[in-house]
Amino acid sequence: MRSRCLRAFGRTEDGFVLVFAAVCIPALLGLLGLAVDGTRLMTFDTQLAATVDAAALAAAGQLDWTDGAIERAVAAGNALTNGVAFSRRNRASPRLSFRFAATLADLRADPAYTLPDTEGARAVFVEATTAEYTLTASLLQVLGTPIRRRAVAEAQYYACDVTPMVMCQSDPERFAAAARPGRQYYLRMDGNIANGSVVPLDRPDDAASRTTLRTLASDAPAFCYGQGVALRRNIAPRDFDDALNIRFDRYFNGIAAVASDLAAFPPAPNVIQGRHLQACSSPPSSGDVNPPYHLPRDAAYRIVRPSAAYDQGLGDWAVTAAYGGFGEMSAARAIDEYILWNHADKDRTFQTALREAPTRYDLYLRELGLTRATESQPVVTRGNRLMGKTMPTGGPLTGPYAFVRESPIPMCYLGVRPASDARRRVLYLSIADCRDFSADPGPARLSRHVAKVFLTEPVSGGGLLVELVAMLTPRADDGKLRPVVQLVETH
């Protein structure tokens, strides 16, 4: 009897669903909870990734080669962490941490590496990392699944609308650190890549063409230190001279007219160069120590020798010794010789302003009625509108030396473009190590150190005397540096 009852109970299926439900429903609810929490976690992970990417980019946007860049970068990155989903979690701990470096290798080599705040000028890369976050009141919190996101961004600047030329330096960082406005250098386009050599640059599609010469001569060079630029070491010195000397209204080189593709570009508005006689074919008297006087050289370059060191100048033009040889001027400083020769018709206040100019370029701007703040404004010299006010006379207006007076107003240019840009006598040169220069040197490396230099007199045989005006920075770049901020992979 008992066995029949047990067999009957075993055969019945009543209540099985309740047993199955009792076992499966908790498991299903757990899986549903995990799915919900997983979806929440994925959504939050996406939010974290977007936030940390944005924070890294915002921080990189503040890296402008200045000492305070790191502090500003951290503030800019943290400003993006106030979103509701982000700020509700882990309020007691930092939401983001940042590391800064000059190269990616620094970030990769040591997880704890970062530049100190005092070295913001070196910072190029920034790594932003979130704190560890969890989902509160969830199964995933019990299982322990904190999430963290990291992003690396770089801030680079590419120089554009610059002179297609590099000044060779084995240690660009050291040169830039020691650069001082007013110092004069004797650079050479001699086919070499030693310190002080200058080498024109070809675009990738312009190798061995005259495009490089035209860009050297241009008043609006459409040239960037981009990918694939290459050294051009085989330009003839005469062609190189012509491309630069049209800035001095030299459209004849003493032998023939300058090539028409170069002659299409205008000169500078003030072309005083110490040239004998007012004749377009007259070669410059750049080596003379007698009148007519050009802007004075550093005493080290009074007589230029091919073997002279490019940077042997003293760097202080205001105490340059007089050239001598012209009466009362022989005992004066060279700057006084220049002023007395070219500005004897001005009042003492203006002469004093010229004499107190800190550099040759500042004196040149004052002769054009400009300052550093207004140097980009066009200057109208047509009809001698500035004569008698600020422009040099080019020599005595009367007397026995009037016959060697040269006009500061361009007279040889036959084109139609206005000669109104004071920066025509300014070159923007990349300072880079030419020894390891390759066909793909990288625009960021070429753009890291760009020198703004002033041509103080015409070029001769590939040799040029320039005065350092400034090293470009993102905050003072004459509109030449283009910021490029982007996320980068670190693996």
Q: Are 210 and 261 in contact (CB under 8 A)?
A: yes
**What's the predicted TM-score (pTM) here?**
0.84
Do 418 and 467 fall into the same domain? yes
pLDDT at 140: 47
Do 249 and 291 fall into the same domain? yes
Which runs of consecutive H residues, i.e. helices, occur in 305-459? 334-342, 348-355, 360-367, 443-448
Which residues lie below 8 Å from residue 232, measured CB to CB, with a gap of 6+?
199, 200, 201, 202, 207, 208, 212
If one counts the domains in the chain, the total is 2
73, part of any domain: yes
Residues in the chain: 491
Which runs of consecutive H residues, i.e. helices, occur in 280-347? 334-342
Do 239 and 304 fall into the same domain? yes
218, part of any domain: yes
Do 454 and 310 fall into the same domain? yes
71, part of any domain: yes
Q: What per-residue string of b and e applies to 182-216 under the rule 16 or more CB within 10 Å gives b?
A: bbbbbbbbbeebebbbbbbbbbeebeeeebbbbbb
Do 180 and 207 fall into the same domain? yes
- Among 130, 156, 182, the domain-final residue is 156
Do 200 and 348 fall into the same domain? yes
**Residue recorded with tokens 């250098």:** 185
pLDDT tens digit at each of 491 positions of the chain: 556 555 555 555 555 556 555 666 665 655 555 555 555 556 667 778 888 899 999 999 999 999 999 999 999 998 877 654 555 555 545 578 999 999 889 998 888 999 999 999 999 999 999 887 765 545 445 455 677 889 999 999 999 999 999 999 999 999 999 999 999 999 999 999 999 999 999 988 777 789 999 999 999 999 999 888 889 988 999 999 999 999 999 998 878 899 999 999 999 999 988 776 556 765 554 445 567 788 888 888 877 777 778 998 777 777 666 665 555 455 567 888 889 899 999 999 999 999 999 999 999 999 999 999 999 999 987 656 676 789 999 888 888 888 888 888 888 899 999 999 999 999 999 999 998 777 567 888 899 999 999 999 999 899 999 999 999 999 999 999 999 999 998 76
Do 374 and 408 fall into the same domain? yes
**Smallest Cα–Cα separation from 462: which of 265, 306, 246?**
306
- Among 132, 156, 180, the domain-final residue is 156
Hey, what are 71's tokens?
């502090």
- Among 131, 156, 181, the domain-final residue is 156
108, part of any domain: yes
Do 361 and 428 fall into the same domain? yes
Burial class (CB in 10 A: 0-12, 13-18, 19+), 236: exposed
Residue 473 per-residue DSSP state: B
Which residues lie below 8 Å from residue 93, measured CB to CB, with a gap of 6+?
131
Taking CA 163 as the corner, what is the angle to CA 159 and CA 167, rounded to the nearest 5 degrees? 90
149, part of any domain: yes
**Smallest Cα–Cα separation from 245: which of 462, 469, 15?**
462
pLDDT at 142: 47
Cα 164 to Cα 212: distance, rounded to the nearest angstrom: 7
487, part of any domain: no
Do 299 and 442 fall into the same domain? yes
Do 353 and 452 fall into the same domain? yes
Q: What per-residue string of b and e applies to 358-381 under the rule 16 or more CB within 10 Å gives b?
A: ebbbbbbbbbbbbeeeebeeebeb
**Domain membership of residue 40 as a residue range:** 15-156
Do 337 and 475 fall into the same domain? yes
pLDDT at 408: 87
Cα 404 to Cα 279: distance, rounded to the nearest angstrom: 10
Q: What is the identity of the amino acid at 391?
A: M
409, part of any domain: yes
Cα 140 to Cα 36: distance, rounded to the nearest angstrom: 10
Q: How far is CA 143 from CA 50, 83, 138, in A?
A: 25, 26, 9
Residue 348 per-residue DSSP state: H
Q: Are 360 and 317 in contact (CB under 8 A)?
A: yes
Q: What is the identity of the amino acid at 206?
A: D
Do 123 and 176 fall into the same domain? no
7, part of any domain: no
